[in-house]
Amino acid sequence: MENVANNIILVEYNALDQKLNAFETAYETFVGNQNQTNFDVVKQSWFDLYLQWEKSCMFEFGPAMSEVLKSSLGTFPTDSTTIVNNISAGSYDLDMVSNFKAQGIPAFDFLLHRDNALSYFSTPAYAQYGTDLIIKMRGHVTSVISQWNSGYANTFKSSTGTEVTSAFSQFVNQFCKSYEELKWTKLGIPLGNQIGTPQPDYIETKRAKQAFPLMIENMKALHRLYNGDKGTGETGIGFDDYLVALERQDLTDQINASFADIISDMEAFQNDFETELNTNPQALQALFNKVQALTVYIKTDMTSAFAVLITYQDNDGD
């Protein structure tokens, strides 16, 4: 718990804060001087922020839960109709649940990558909407980091029991939940595995076509977290070591091998997700099946070894 708090969670949150600062600066510069060069910088800065979010979104307990961080920063697919209506109205309450799909990092997939996107920013209300989204993200991220630094880190490190209210139990649950969210939101739903028909509109960053890089970054971050490894590649103490201590070397080896195999398959795709969905759905389904198989090792076998009860709700039947 000390390793995870000090060397992973706080490190990733601080990096998220830095990437958000860089994006905010780039956006302000662009709004003040709207040319293609500045626009390209904004889009790159947005993508850098999104990649960092994929390393930071699996800590939805404690401060992140109270701040509703994942819903506020990472809800997709974006509801472009609500965004347009909000801008047209000129007033909106971004704290409303109905606006979760019209804000956060994914909202900029629409704002920055729709057809002729640059031309829309000459409308003050359009540019202001982006500014307001950034301000709201800033508030949530700052609050979460402040709470970790002002006491929650110590609470997290000391709450090592397996009761459902313990930080360890919540951490294990959110690790499993984040893995399943990757499985469904980034793969299963666009593939149509819930309704039997592909749903390309549910592809993450459908306009920017960055679904694979984001998915890979998220899976790699989950793998590092499982092993307790720092982002620098330095080995740390993680779930794998705990399983070894519980005499489950076989299980930790299987989980690590599955992670590596899945990441290798993800990296093998040469085209954007929508193109692969249209031309090579069998390979995507094969990838999904491997991700699904690892679910059992993580969510059932690992949690059983830890004596942690899964408390979040799902309907996929594993």
The string of DSSP letters for 31-86 reads HHS--HHHHHHHHHHHHHHHHHHHHHTT--STHHHHTTHHHHHH--S--HHHHHHH
| Residue 314 buriedness (CB in 10 A; 0-12 / 13-18 / 19+) | middle
Largest CA distance in the chain: 62
Question: For residue 77, is pLDDT > 70?
Answer: yes
- DSSP per position, 253-299: HHHHHHHHHHHHHHHT--S-HHHHHHH-HHHHHHHHHHHHHHHIIII
Q: Please, what is the average pLDDT of the chain?
A: 96
What tokens does 18 get?
């830095």
Q: pLDDT digits over 90-115, tens only? A: 999 999 999 999 999 999 999 999 99
Q: Which residues contact 134 (CB under 8 A, 6 or more apart)?
A: 20, 23, 24, 27
Confidence check: pLDDT of 191 > 50? yes
Does CATH number 1.20.1420.20 belong to domain 1-158? yes
Is residue 316 scored above 70 in pLDDT? no
Q: Is residue 317's pLDDT more than 50? A: no
Q: Please report, for the chain, the start and end positions of each structural domain, with discontinuous segments joined by +.
A: 1-158, 159-318
Query: Whole-angstrom Cα distance, residue 105 to residue 102?
Result: 10
What would the pLDDT profile of 133-176 be if each residue is shown by its tens digit? 999 999 999 999 999 999 999 999 999 999 999 999 999 999 99
Q: What is the pLDDT of residue 6?
A: 96
Please report which confidence band the pLDDT of residue 14 belongs to, taking 50, 70 and 90 as the band edges. Answer: very high
Structure tokens at 119: 């031309």
